[in-house]
Amino acid sequence: MAGVWVEAAETTPPRTGEAKIDAGQVVDRGVFTAAAQLYQLRSGDTEEFERLVVTHHALMCRVARAHVASSAIAEDVVQDTWIAVLDGLTAFEGRSSLRTWMFQILRNLARRRGQREARVVPFSSLLATELGEGTLPSVDPERFNPPSDHEWPGHWLWPPRQWEGGVEERLLHAETHALMAASIEELPPVQRTVLWLRCIEGWASEEVCLPLEISAANQRVLLHRARSNVRGSLEALLEES
């Protein structure tokens, strides 16, 4: 484990949400960095706050967009979230990571704003729609053997194509990047958010479930459907090329 050796103990007691670190204690580097960041933010370090905004602002807008009617409203919600974060830093108790806490604030503000917008479908309804039985299948059913098949019912009839012969070069091509980005943007809102958090931002499953208020099982289903939809778009492109 990468650690930090603390040579001198803190002379002042820790505030709410800050762990007390004793002299001679070896602390996990991630914990030490998080504690230092929180201390700087509470001390009014504007550069540290700017770094926080640069790191999370765009992703916050994506998450908020799943709750509200437009990107402009999502931006307003995120601005309100940053104000709430600044106002709440002193009361932050450290029961979760700073990032998780910020996205919980974002979720609550976005949900309330969405409920005020008459044209907005509630997030819970979006989730029910995307998980419902009437949802289009992630993979064309024609690619599987029918249930009546005596030998291999439900197995692949036309399995996904093995991408060989220069596929890496094609995936790095600008056209492929553009198609992938467009495919992600065309996903249903909750699928898009889950895919972005898991596969692009690298969040763990439990980190995704908390701000979106979904179960681990629902998160897996949404992620599978999102990946399948994007893969289908890429598969079509590679078959043409």
Place of tokens 């099982």: 217
Are 130 and 181 found together in one domain? yes
Q: Alpha-carbon Rg of the chain, whole angstroms?
A: 23
Q: What is the pLDDT of residue 6?
A: 38
- Please state, in angstroms and as integers, the Cα–Cα distance from residue 145 to each residue in 61, 67, 75, 138, following that order: 42, 38, 47, 16
Q: Which residues of 51-72 are buried (b: 16+ CB within 10 A; e: fewer)?
A: ebeeebeebbbbbbbbbbeeee
Q: Note whether 65 and 189 are within 8 A (CB).
A: yes
Q: Do residues 206 and 217 make contact, with C-beta atoms less than 8 angstroms apart?
A: no
Domain check: are 21 and 84 in the same one? yes
Beta strands per DSSP E along the chain? 3-5, 26-28
With b meaning 16 or more CB within 10 Å and e meaning fewer, what string describes 162-199?
Answer: eeeeeeeeeeeeeebeebbeebbeebbbbbbbbbbbbe
Per-residue confidence (pLDDT) for residue 116, from 0 to 100? 81
Q: How far apart are CA 85 and CA 92, in angstroms?
A: 9
Indicate if 140 and 233 belong to the same structural domain: yes
Q: Residue 156's pLDDT is what?
A: 67
Task: Please report, for residues 144, 159, 184, 227, the alpha-carbon distance to residue 200 in angstroms, rounded to integers and kept in the order given.
Answer: 30, 26, 11, 12
Question: What was the pLDDT predicted at 19?
Answer: 46
Q: How far apart are CA 189 and CA 138, in angstroms?
A: 15
Phi, psi of 223 (to 5 degrees): -65, -40
Does 152 reside within a domain?
Answer: no
The answer to whether residues 5 and 26 touch, using CB atoms and an 8 Å cutoff, is yes
Q: Provide the β-strand partners of residue 5.
A: 26
**Residues 77, 175 within the same domain:** no
| Angle value at C-alpha 222, between 233 and 67, nearest 5 degrees | 100
The reply to whether 37 and 73 lie within a common domain is: yes
| Bridge partners for 184 per DSSP | none
- Looking at the fold, whether 199 and 226 belong to one and the same domain comes out as yes
| Residue 153 belongs to some domain of the structure | no
pLDDT at 138: 62
Confidence (pLDDT) at 117: 73
Residue numbers of the chain with a pLDDT score lower than 50: 1-29, 119
Closest of 192, 190, 189 to residue 180, by C-alpha: 192
* pLDDT at 35 (0 to 100): 83
Assign residue 83 the CATH number of its domain.
Answer: 1.10.1740.10
Name the phi and psi angles at 225, rounded to 5. -65, -40
Measured over all CA atoms, what is the biggest interatomic distance in the chain, rounded to whole angstroms? 75
Q: Are residues 104 and 181 in the same domain?
A: no
pLDDT digits 0-9 by tens, 65-117: 888 888 899 999 999 999 999 999 999 988 888 998 999 999 999 988 888 87
| 128 in the same domain as 231 | yes
Q: What was the pLDDT predicted at 237?
A: 67
Q: Which domain holds residue 206?
A: 123-147+159-240
Count: domains in the chain: 2
Final residue of a structural domain among 116, 139, 168: 116
Both 172 and 236 in one domain: the answer is: yes
Q: At 28, which helix (H) or strand (E)?
A: strand 26-28
> What end-to-end distance do the CA atoms of the chain give, in Å?
47
What is the structure's pLDDT at 94? 84
The domain that contains 230 carries what CATH number?
1.10.10.10
